[in-house]
A and B are shown apart, each in its own frame.
Chain A
């Protein structure tokens, strides 16, 4: 993580949605994300996660006007000086409700929509459509209606549409909140593969902390427009009291470690397992001793 170069930098960013808003939606945000990071963005609804994500492709403040201070540099470009359609080649966006993003009669047209505005040739488009459908696990569905797909498939189509622009960064805002368990699995899997196999930088806002602890390289916790914690999942989820006071959950296996420590059953020095595999190993010791 630290070896790769920064791809997103927030420098002292503060943003108010309107001139009359007293409270800013983002307060003094400083954040560096490296190429290939998988960033989990956590926080209550209204904490500023979506606003922060909209800064990455420049929609804030270029399309959604407001009072913007500071600087966001994405892949070397200052978002204030770069048109949003240019940013769309670098940053793909996927939102929580796939139906709001779909508008076309066929899957192929849906994917072509973004490419058309970038002046791709017909051959390039056809090739790209096949390629991105393959990546998200929907090969051969070009002619199908987007509205006949399952929620998970629709969301993967949204990802495919974003990928067609060849972005380096994929921003996902609660992409699994409106799909069933199969759909969730599919979306998390695709995001993981893009990150792992194609070094795509992923920024995902998500309430499922157990899944985020599994995949994220960097966890960013927001509260009332501010970043209050950031670090590896292990670092962030060692801040039990702070997370509790913010009303946030932590992975169950970490909360369990904290309980064991409070009861004097196991000393973990405030460092709790956050992934299942770590937990099996750590807590297995309680039983090994007994068995031995």
Chain B
């Protein structure tokens, strides 16, 4: 997931993640502006936009427990892991590379 939360694409990406989890094991990786999707305290309601990020807390109900984010991006954005809505494993750029290699298919959003 690489886009910021206030795009419809991010909301649709989340739908794709849920769809994927119904068929098989899915990991989700947040990189670039995608990290903002995990930021706690979002209140998009005044924009008239659905707060789909509330759904992240329910990911474990969908057996999506492999949640990763980019360590370098967290640092770049001056964010701390404790500010995220859900626990995510920080990965170095090399580990991100390895994560991708370990998976059969990668859907990019």
Whether chain B is bound by chain A comes out as no
